[in-house]
Every structure is written in structure tokens, then in C-alpha cells.
């Protein structure tokens, strides 16, 4: 899994790994969800200009149909698929395919995005990439800030978002975390009993 916020280099890392598999003469295929309408049909594109052939699918099950010849399978923007992608990936893994999936781990509210948490649980390897914060320039941007008003979880676009670090991330007020902490006078600290080790343990 290659995850992170927008502009972190996820798609270019996916393309790089698929190209390496191709150099090793392994049959590959890249899938992309139909929901993502930003790239030209049949291409996966990164912001730094890399591109590769891709098959656009609207239903994750279609990946089973098209991947019989492939040994290494790339899935870009995996967060846009529904949870059925989890079963599809498990089926492909049982067929001994190697799967490299990239996508957003968190949505614009800072909440886990679609099937990504489940896929992370399946993954042997997870690379979490960071972007440059567009507000303060920090190297540790890990959130995707929506810069327009909309409460749709999926609002496809680039100009409507920017990468932000955790300090500069400002989720919509409706979704800010509200956790009721016990106030101090009612708060009983947990009893901690410290067990002293024996000075001369019996042999
Ligand atoms: Zn920042």
C-alpha cells in the first residue's frame, strides 16, 4: 500500500514500481476507478508528469475479469472503490498476484477513507508518503484540506484541495473531534501500584 495525503507522490511511486516489474518481464496491469475523472481515459497520471496505461473500472469485480494474465497488479486511487474491493484483493492474493495499491488514507474531514483501512490490514508493506504543506511549507503534510464548501465525501478535483500538515489542517467545524473528557474534580486517577523488584531474588 502506498498511502498519504494529496500531492505526496503516491501515483508516481505506483507507476515507478509497476515500471520496475515491467523491466523484470512480469506481466502487469494498472486499474483506476471510473469515479476519478481527472485523468484521460486509460491512463494513470502523476502530478510530476509520469503516466502509464490503465484500465478504468467502475466495479471492483471487473478487476478479476481483466487480470487473469497479470502477475503484478497496480490499483490507483483505491479509496474511491467500495468495500467490495477488499474481497477482490483477497481473491487476487489467493491467485498469487502481487498487488500495489495507492490512495488517500484520510478524507477531507481527516477520517479514514472508504476501504483503505481494511486494505491496510491486509498489506504486507505500507509506505506512508508525506507532501509539502501548502500553508507553512513544512515537509510533513499528511492531511488533505478542502478549500471549497461541500459536504460530499467524494468531490473529485485538484484545485479544490491542498496538502496541509497537521498543525495547519482545519477540518470543517461540523467534523471537528468532540471528545468529552472528565473534568478535573470528578476525575479519579487510576490507581497504580508499583511493585518493587526483589533486591536479592531467590535462586
Ligand atoms: Zn503547515
Is the pTM higher than 0.85?
A: no
Residue 55 placed within a domain = yes
- Total residues belonging to the chain: 203
- Classify residue 14: in a domain, yes or no: yes
List pLDDT tens digits, range 16-69.
Answer: 999 999 999 999 999 999 987 776 778 788 887 788 889 999 999 999 999 999
Q: Which of 162, 137, 138 is nearest to 148 (CA)?
A: 162
Asked, for residue 115, whether it belongs to a domain, the answer is yes
| 5: three-class secondary structure by DSSP | coil
Asked whether residue 120 is domain-assigned, the answer is: yes
64 located within any domain: yes
What is residue 112's predicted lDDT score, i.e. its pLDDT?
96
Catalytic residue list contains 152: no
Cα of 27 vs centre of ligand 1, distance in Å, is: 41
Q: What is the CATH classification number for the domain harbouring 78?
A: 3.40.50.300
pLDDT tens string 80-110: 999 999 999 999 999 999 999 999 999 999 9
Distance separating alpha carbons of residues 29 and 66, to the nearest angstrom: 8
Lowest mean pLDDT among 31-35, 63-67, 132-136, 147-151: 147-151
Confidence bin at 180 (pLDDT 50/70/90): low
Q: What's the confidence (pLDDT) of residue 193?
A: 77
CA 133–ligand 1 middle distance (angstroms): 5
Q: How many domains does the chain have?
A: 1
- Report, in this order, helix, strand and coil percent for the chain, each rounded to 5: 25, 20, 55
Task: Say how far residue 138 (Cα) sits from the centre of its chain.
Answer: 20
Catalytic, out of 77, 152, 160, 162 = 77
CA–centroid distance, 2 to ligand 1, in Å, is: 22
Query: pLDDT class for 184, splitting at 50, 70, 90?
Result: low
Q: Is 60 exceeded by the pLDDT of residue 203?
A: no
Asked if residue 168 is part of any domain, the answer here is no
Best CA proximity match to 85, nearest among 125, 137, 53, 122: 122
Contact 119, 73 (CB under 8 A): no
Kindly state the cell numbers that stand for 42. 486509460
| Sole residue written with cell 515537509 | 139
- The pLDDT confidence band at residue 9, using thresholds 50, 70 and 90, is very high
Domain that holds residue 9: 2-129
Amino acid at each position: 500500500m502506498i498511502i498519504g495525503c494529496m500531492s505526496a507522490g503516491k501515483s508516481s511511486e505506483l507507476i515507478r514500481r509497476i515500471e520496475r516489474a515491467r523491466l523484470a518481464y512480469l506481466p502487469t496491469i494498472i486499474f483506476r476507478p471510473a469515479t476519478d475523472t481527472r485523468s484521460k481515459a486509460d491512463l494513470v497520471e502523476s502530478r510530476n508528469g509520469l503516466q502509464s496505461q490503465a484500465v478504468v473500472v467502475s466495479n471492483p469485480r471487473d478487476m478479476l475479469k481483466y487480470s487473469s494474465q497479470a502477475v503484478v497488479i497496480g490499483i490507483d486511487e483505491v479509496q474511491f472503490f467500495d468495500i467490495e474491493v477488499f474481497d477482490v484483493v483477497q481473491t487476487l492474493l489467493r491467485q498469487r498476484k502481487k498487488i500495489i495499491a495507492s490512495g488517500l488514507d484520510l478524507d477531507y474531514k481527516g477520517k479514514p477513507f472508504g476501504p483503505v483501512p481494511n486494505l491496510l490490514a491486509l498489506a504486507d508493506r505500507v509506505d506512508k508518503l508525506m507532501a509539502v504543506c501548502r500553508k507553512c511549507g513544512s515537509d510533513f503534510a499528511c492531511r488533505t484540506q478542502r478549500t471549497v464548501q461541500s459536504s460530499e465525501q467524494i468531490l473529485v478535483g485538484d484545485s479544490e484541495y491542498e496538502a496541509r500538515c497537521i498543525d495547519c489542517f482545519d477540518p470543517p467545524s461540523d467534523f471537528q473531534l468532540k471528545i468529552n473528557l472528565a473534568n478535573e474534580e470528578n476525575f479519579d486517577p487510576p490507581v497504580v501500584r508499583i511493585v518493587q523488584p526483589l533486591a536479592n531474588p531467590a535462586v
